[in-house]
Structures are given as C-alpha cells and as structure tokens.
Structure 1
Amino acid sequence: MYPYLILGSLLYMIFLLNLPLFYTKNNGMTHLKLMQLIFLIPIIIFLFFMTVLRSINVGIDYPMYHSFYVNGDYGKYFDYLIILIYDFARQEGNFLIFTAMITGLFLMFNLMAIKKVSYNFFVSFTFFILSYYFFYVFNGMRQAVAISVVFLGITYILKKQLKTKDFLVYLLLIILAMQFHHSAIYMFPIIFLRLLKINKPIVIIAFICTVSGYFFALPKEIVSDLLINFNYYSQKYLNNSEFFFTVNKQKGLIEFFPVLIQYFFLYYILSIKKAEKVSDKFILTYYLGFLFLYSGSGIEAVDRFQFYFYPSVILFYDYLIHSIYESKEIENRRSLIGISKTMAIASVSFWFLYFVIRVIQGTHGINPYILMN
C-alpha cells in the first residue's frame, strides 16, 4: 500500500505548493516547471519499474496474462499487436518483456496526449495518476493501451477546424487501438462529440438519469438488452453472458457519493465559464459521458466501455484548473477569488482522497503491492 500512498501524496503536495504559482512567470521558467524538472522524470521512471516489477499477484487480471504467456494459447483470444508482443516475449524467454512493452506503450501514448493538449502538463499528469493509472494498467493491460491510443487520437479532433489530415490521423489511431483491443472500434463515433454543447439543464437531466440507472433495476435491464447486440462482446462472452451483460456487483449510496461530487464540479464550471471553443465543448461533453455511464454501473460491459472515457477526467480537471485561474471574471471580482481557489483545491483533494480510499480497499486487486520474486 505504501508505494501508492507515497507517490500519490508527493504529487498532491507538489500540486498544492504550485497552486498559487501556476501562471507566475519568471523569464519563461515557472516554479511549476522547475518542480517538473526535479520530480516528473524520476516519477515516470518509478511508475514504469513499479508496474513492470510487480508480482503476478498484483492486479486481478495479471495472473491471467502470465498464464497465457506460460501456456502459449493467446493467439485465439487476443488482437494482432498483443499477439506480436507475446511472441517476442516468448522468443526472448522473459514474461517481463511483455509487461515492459505494454507499460511503456501505455505511458508513451498517454504522456504524448497530455503533452499535446493540456493547459498544464503537471496538472493533467497528477489527475492521470490519481484517477486511473494503477487501477487499470495493473489489470486490463490490453485495453489500457487501446485507451491511451484513443486518447492520443482525441487530440487530433479537438481543433476548431477539423482538417482532412487530422481526421485521417484520428482514424488511423482508432485502427491502431483496435490492434490492441478490438473494442476500440466503438469509440470512433466519439468524434461527433465536437458537434455537441452541454449546459446546466442538460447536466441536471443527465444527473437524474444517472441516479435512476444507478439505483433502479429497470434502466439496467434495458441497457443489458441493448449491449448483448454488440457482436464483439456477445461472441467473446457467449459462455459467460450473465456475468458480462447483467449486474454482477451492487453499488449503494456510499459508492455513488463520488459520482455526485463529480457532477457538482461539472455544474460548477458551467456556472463560471461558457464553453466557446470546440475543444472546450468536447471536453465537457466527454466528461458528461463518463459520468452518465455510471447509470449502468455494475454491468461489466458498461464498466469496461466507461474505461474509454477515463481520459476525460484528465482533460476536464486540467480545463477546470485553467478556467479558474484564467477567467477574467474571477480576476476582476475579489469575492470570487477565494471561492474559486477553494474549488481548485477541492478538485484535486477529492481525487487524492478517492485515490487513497481505493488503494486501501485494494480496488482491482492492486493492494497489497508485492515486488516480483
């Protein structure tokens, strides 16, 4: 448990120390950039080795990936690039090569995406670690890489004018993601989110629908009936459809509380700033999609599809912090400064606390952390 908590606490403390200085420039070098130079590269290296050198007992799915390596029967289950990585690892006689390549690709694509679109790299990186790094790359390794590739693809469709070359790069990255996990094909329509715009009434309606789906059976039954028509999953889980397409875990009011808080942050940003740019509209709609999918929470198929929306957490809170510190309205109205800075602190504090709780609970089997023998 302690490696997670130490790393999360370090990022949280650096974040708070830099919070008043995010936009204080001094000859092109901000205090934040100095902290990045000192800490970010060592943290990234530490993340890589912590992931690669973990015991096969860390993470619910990790023993499965190891068993496929040992038995060599992965060819009929996995997609093209995963098979190639497995083949190379078996050729070299070392399972850690598989883990290292998957981890390296996951980090590379995510960091490229964060670097490409973030207002502030360190802010996005912090939310990347606190929201889902350990909780997913330790388990759904194939889909984790696919998600990171889709994330990079999204950076090409956030521009005001979508050029043909940007669309083609996006399309190629979706196809690349499919070579790691075929389910990435279902993320192609996400491009149309750039055409949508949300407002506070829409958020309220979405929240009501999320509550209904989260706590009542009928909406989940409707969702289950729809999901079973997706051929990729219906064929793959033909012998285990009850687990995958119906509710297999019950969640209550306590588990819903983090969802409520996140809806509050989304409602708040719509109260202080109008989303005018295509990228801003996309980020808000993308994040609303992430929250709305909690309406089907407990259905394995929905949970796995929701993972593709996790990059919206990174994008949204980077946008939230940026908006708080760049809003002219906030700069010009002293009464709002304290409230807004409090909201900035509250957002990262929420994710840090959520991170700690999930680590303590051992979410997705990540706790206890054990080094490989």
Structure 2
Amino acid sequence: MLIYFIVPLMIVYCYFLSRVTMYRNSDRYNDERFVARNNSTIFFWFIILLAFASLKGENVGVDYPMYYGFFLQENYHALLEPGINFIYDIAVHFDSFYIFAASVYFLFLFFILLGIWRNSPNYLISIFLFIIMHIYYNAFNQIRQLIAVSIIFCFAHILVSNKKLDKLIYFSILLLALLFHNSAIFLFILFFLPKKTFHPKVVIPLFVVTAVLYFIPSVKNQIGELIISISGTYGEKYSQGTYNFFGVNKEKGLMQFIPVVIQMFIVSCSLYLTKSKANLHINDRLYQFSTNAVVVNLCLYSLAGIEAIDRLQIYFSCFNIYYYSYLLHILFNYENKLIGQLFACFIVSFWILYYILRLMINVHGVVPYKLFI
C-alpha cells in the first residue's frame, strides 16, 4: 500500500518545491496567487502515472483480470466497441499485453491531462485531486469507460461555449467516446444541464431529499426496475435476482454515506462563498457547469447500486477535478484570507482522509500494488 501514499506525497513535495505559494506574475495574472502552469509538470506526471498504471499486475484492480482474459482468449470482439477492439488487435498481433495496457492508459491520461492543461489554473493541484479522488484508480478497473470519461472531460469547455457550432463539435466528441464505451450514449443529457449554477434554494432541499431516498429501499427498487426494463443489455444482465442487486445501496450504509454528506456541505457552502470571483483567470462557465455536474453526481449517489446509474455517475464524478480545482483557486485568492484558507484546508483535509479510507477498505481492489511479471 505504501506506493499509493508515495505518489500523492511526491506531488505535494513538487508543489512546495515549485514555491507556487510564493509565485506571482503581476503582468499576466494581476497579482493572482497560486498560479502554476508549467508544461514540464504535465509531461513529468504523464510519464509517471502512465508507467504506474501500465506496469501494474493483472490482479491489481477488480476488473483488470477480465481485460487480460480477453487478450489471452482473443474474445474481445464481443465488446462491440471499435476503439478498444482496434487496440486489442494490435496487442494480439505483437503478442504483448503491455501494448494494450500502455495504449489504453496513454489515451486515458492524455485526455485527462490535456483537459487540465487547457482549463486548470494550477496543474499540480488538479493532478493531486485527480489521484486522491480515486478517479485515477477507477481506471485500474473500468478502463474502457474511463477512456470515454476522459474524452468528455477534456472537451467540456466546448460544451459550455455559446457558439452553436461548438454544440455540433461536442456531438462528434460523444461519437468518439462511443468508440470506447457504449455508456457514452447517455451523455446527451449534458446538453440539458444548466450552464448557470443551481440556486442554493434548489440545491439544499435537493440534497435533503437525496439523503432521505438513500435509506428508502422501496423507492430505489422501483427506479431500478424501471431502468433495467429500458436498459437493454443491463435488463438482460440483471433480469434474475433484481431484489438482491437493488437492495439498499448494496453493501453501502451510513458510514459510506457520511463522506457524501460532507461533500454536500462543501458544495452548499461554496454556493454562498464564491459568488464573487475577484476577476480571476478561470473559465467561469466551466466552473458553474462543473458545480452543477457535481450536484447531480451527489444526488445520483442515492441510487448507487443500480448498474446503469453507476455508469452514468462516473461521467459526472470526473467534473470534481474542475470544480474543486477552481474552488480552491478561488479560496486561495479570497478577499477574506482567513475564511478562504480555513475552508480550503477543510476541503483538502477531507479528501486526504477519504483517500486513505478508500485505500484501507480497498474499494477498487488495487491493494497491494504488484508489477506485471
């Protein structure tokens, strides 16, 4: 497990080594603090994270043995996803699973880090969040979907544009994501997600209703039955034993829900604290859109355990990177420095503790880390 602590600690070390807390560029950022956009940082961590993911053992991750099995048995064409099939074809041709692993993680990290490069005010903070939020470790399992997620994430700034042509461009991006996972078809709903931040008077009652629904199995079961009736493959997959599958949040209980409640508290507070952004150099449209995506993600958690919902939730959870990157940047430049710093420390402390908890219970099956030999 030690390796999973070394990686984020290395990022924190690089953060202080770069002295970003002291860095100011008055000519370009009008005395905006905590700006760090060094391209070598992106490249360095791309190589580190690519090697870390590509060289892991076949049993590191709950789903990863399945991908290795597809390679050995050459039965991957049943996936019906041309992008993944093409990568498998190359790996089988050269008889090397390393080619498959390096290729899929290259695509995943390329699009994630390209999105950070385009939109983040501080690369190190965004990469740090990418890891401690376990979005990186999700790809140790659901690699096909996470490639699709990374594509959606990378080009989200196009979706929030006011240009009509960009909407058409984003539709083509969804088609690109479909090459790697068919769940991307559900992402047309992003076109209907408001570009302006939800009002607190809407968000807070919505969170309360979500918390109540989390503990009402009858409502969840009805929603689950409706979803599998219209979900095609999922309907067939879970046509037997739906009660067990759609029981109260599977193995999740109050302890698993507490971190979600804390995130709801953070989002609710941020809606009041960040109304004034002091002319910061951030993509305000993307920040507001990401805030709404995070709200939807937290509400979807009340239905966690329904396979179709879980698949959809992964797409929304990636917007945590943008949301918290912008939120921390706003707090670091907040007019009331004490409130800004205290709230920022609370957020970072929570995610670090949550990161450790998820590693301890091995939620993604990634512990212990072993090399593929």
Q: TM-score normalised to the size of structure 1?
A: 0.88
Could you tell me how far 1:19 is from its partner in structure 2?
A: 9.0
Distance in 2 (alpha carbons) for counterparts of 1:285 and 1:131: 18
- Given the alignment, which residue of 312, 321, 325 partners 1:318? 325
SS of equivalent residue, structure 1 residue 143: helix
The alpha carbon displacement at 1:225 in A equals 2.1
Measured after TM superposition, the shift of residue 325 of structure 1 is: 3.3
Quick one: which amino acid aligns to residue 133 of structure 2?
S
Q: Which residue of 2 aligns with 1:55?
A: 57
1:118-139 deviation per Cα after TM superposition (whole angstroms, max 9, x unaligned): 2333222221111134421100
Tell me the residue number matched to 1:257.
258
2:37–2:123 Cα contact (<8 Å) kept:
no
Distance 1:283 1:134, change over 3 A: closer
Report what 1:273 is aligned to: 274
CA–CA separation in structure 1 for the residues paired with 2:51 and 2:201? 46
Post-superposition offset of 1:320? 0.8
Identity of aligned residues (%): 32
Kindly provide the CA deviation profile for residues 137-164 of structure 1, in whole angstroms up to 9, marking residues without a partner as x: 10001001010111123221123x2x13
How far does residue 112 in structure 1 lie from its aligned partner after superposition? 1.3
Taking a change above 3 Å as real, the CA distance of residues 2 and 169 of structure 1, as seen in their structure-2 partners, is same
Structure-2 residue corresponding to 1:25: 25
> For residue 141 of structure 1, what is the aligned residue in structure 2?
143
Compute the displacement of 1:25 (Å).
Answer: 2.3
Mapped contact 1:36–1:122 kept (Cα < 8 A): no
The residue that corresponds to 2:102 in the other structure is 100
By how many angstroms is 1:89 displaced? 0.6
Counterpart-to-counterpart distance in 2, 1:19 and 1:344: 18
Q: Which is further off, 39-48 or 232-241?
A: 232-241
1:162-177 pair list within 5 angstroms: 163-177=163-177
Whether the aligned pair in 2 keeps the contact of 1:198 and 1:285 (CA below 8 Å) is yes
Deviation at 1:54, TM superposition (A): 0.7
Q: 1:110 aligns with which of 106, 109, 112?
A: 112
SS of the aligned residue for 1:76 comes to helix
Name the residue aligned to 1:10: 10
- Give the stretch that moved more between structures: 201-210 or 102-111: 201-210
Mind listing any 5+ residue stretches in structure 2 that lack a counterpart?
Answer: 278-283
Q: State the distance in 2 between where 1:242 and 1:288 align.
A: 28
Cα distance change on mapping 1:239 and 1:359 into 2, 3 Å: same
Instruction: Name the amino acid aligned to 1:252.
Output: G
Tell me if structure 2 keeps the 8 A contact 1:244–1:300: no
**Cα offset, 1:31, TM superposition:** 9.5
Deviation at 1:259, TM superposition (A): 0.6
Structure 1: tracts of 5 or more residues without a match:
none
8 Å CA contact 1:209–1:295 kept in 2: the answer is no
For 1:182, the equivalent position in structure 2 comes to 182
- Is the alpha carbon distance of 1:296 and 1:61 closer, same or farther for their aligned partners in structure 2, counting shifts above 3 Å? same
What is the number of residues matched between the two proteins? 364
Deviation at 1:34, TM superposition (A): 7.1
Q: Match for residue 283 of structure 1?
A: 290
Structure (1 or 2) with the greater helix fraction = 1
Would you say 1:154 and 2:156 are equivalent positions? yes
Q: Work out whether 1:352 is the aligned partner of 2:359.
A: no
How far apart are the structure 1 equivalents of 2:236 and 2:110? 29
Deviations 1:3-43 (A, max 9, x none): 11111223245557879727622776999677956755333
Specify whether residues 12 and 226 from structure 1 end up closer, same or farther in structure 2 by C-alpha distance, changes over 3 A only: farther
The verdict on how the C-alpha distance between 1:38 and 1:88 changes in structure 2, with shifts beyond 3 A counting, is closer
- For 2:151, what is the secondary structure of its paired residue? helix
Equivalent residue, structure 1, for 2:368: 368
CA contact (8 A) 2:287 2:322 kept: no
Matching residue's letter, 1:114: I
Q: CA deviation at 1:45?
A: 1.2
Question: Are the counterparts in 1 of residues 23 and 33 from structure 2 also a CA contact under 8 Å?
Answer: no
